[in-house]
Chains A and B, each alone.
Chain A
Amino acid sequence: MADMASMLDVSVWRGADEGRFVSYPVPRRENQTVLDVVTYVQRRLDATLAYRFSCRVGMCGSCAMTVNGVARWTCRTHVGRVAKDGRLRIAPLRNMPVIKDLSVDMAGFFAKAARAKGAFRPTADRTADFAVIAPDSPRRRRADAAIECIGCGVCYASCDVVTWNPDYLGPAALNRAWTLVNDERDGGNRERLAAVAGDAGCHACHSHQSCMERCPKHLNPTESIAGLKRATVLAALTGKL
């Protein structure tokens, strides 16, 4: 066994919504990610550990966990950046029911994207010509700024408003709605604005900006939600809501 200076003290959540942290010694390696650490625990120390990952390179967004209190993609988080004292505390994402260990049930999270009318509502059929949208038009730019979300749930897990009001649609679903509000080809905005204007919609946001602070893709859901706040107020004032 290596000496303690080259060992990490890793606490991993074991159980479901009720459970406990279990400590595992993991060898410190150069260029080691938190996902490498979790994988080491599962492959070498305890094969019953449940966790999710797929691409390992920050494309899929499935390996998000709470690392030392902050929601992160574990594959894109180097141990050296978060465990200065050699300690790691790895928990499942907040604000979602825990299935087992580090795996959470994201069904409610994805259902909220549907509730926020996050599906594209086409206005043309396949016989129509391509929609021509200038890349530098204001609406295209606003959609561009928000469109790279891959639904990893980091913003949702970081949001206190979701914790306080479990019905709140949350930053990812509202951000998605905002991209469609700015999509010139979409015809579902009346229903969409009505869906996001309620008690659990955009106006519940307190602009804590934790979503923006923690988004691994550096998106700004707070800005998208502020856009929805303005759009819904404007729609209400002009009798369209």
Chain B
Amino acid sequence: MRPFRLAGGSRDHPAYWAFAVHRLSGLLLVLFLPAHFYVLSRAIQGAAALDAVLAWTEGPLVKAAEVGLILLLAAHLTGGLRLLAVEFLPWRDWQKTLIAVTAGVSLLIGLGFLINVA
């Protein structure tokens, strides 16, 4: 047995959660990209092929997934801006509040999109 299996306590704080969200959203967005390119590639097959896929994206499940996608994009964008602020601006204590701000702005953007598609 290794002594550090239970040493996860060093990660239990907001800045680490922000890192985890940023990393996870980035990975999920990478997984989304091939699907995105696939849809765009349908245009090469002609208008009918693209329209068929676009019609499929009107389904309620796809719309719900889109809300998740917008949340991921918003979380990754605001998280990235926060990192730039932390690393390129001189440190101020309000930068701790930025984590809450990025979460709030991401949720607002997600909610705005949800209201728009609902």
Q: Which residues of A contact B (CB under 8 A)?
A: 13, 15, 17-21, 66, 68-71, 89, 91-92, 94, 98, 157-160, 206-210, 212-214, 220, 222-223, 226, 229-230
Interface residues of B in 1-37 (CB under 8 A from A): 1-4, 6-13, 15-16, 19
Taking a contact as CB atoms under 8 Å apart, the answer to whether B16 and A226 are in contact is: no
Taking a contact as CB atoms under 8 Å apart, the answer to whether B10 and A157 are in contact is: yes
Taking a contact as CB atoms under 8 Å apart, the answer to whether B91 and A70 are in contact is: no
B96 to chain A, nearest CB (A): 9
Taking a contact as CB atoms under 8 Å apart, the answer to whether B10 and A210 are in contact is: yes
Taking a contact as CB atoms under 8 Å apart, the answer to whether A207 and B7 are in contact is: no
Please indicate the chain A residues that have their CB under 8 angstroms from the CB of B11 in the complex.
Answer: 160, 208, 210
Please tell me the number of chain B residues within 8 Å of chain A, measured between CB atoms: 21
A171 to chain B, nearest CB (A): 12
8 closest residue pairs by CB, A with B: A69-B9, A209-B15, A223-B91, A70-B9, A158-B10, A91-B3, A13-B3, A226-B87
Known A94-B7, A206-B19, A226-B86; 4 more pairs at CB < 8 Å: A66-B7, A69-B10, A207-B87, A208-B19
Taking a contact as CB atoms under 8 Å apart, the answer to whether B4 and A66 are in contact is: yes
Assembly CA distance A94 to B3 (angstroms): 8
B21 to chain A, nearest CB (A): 12
Please indicate the chain B residues that have their CB under 8 angstroms from the CB of A18 in the complex.
Answer: 1-2
Assembly CA distance A128 to B55 (angstroms): 81
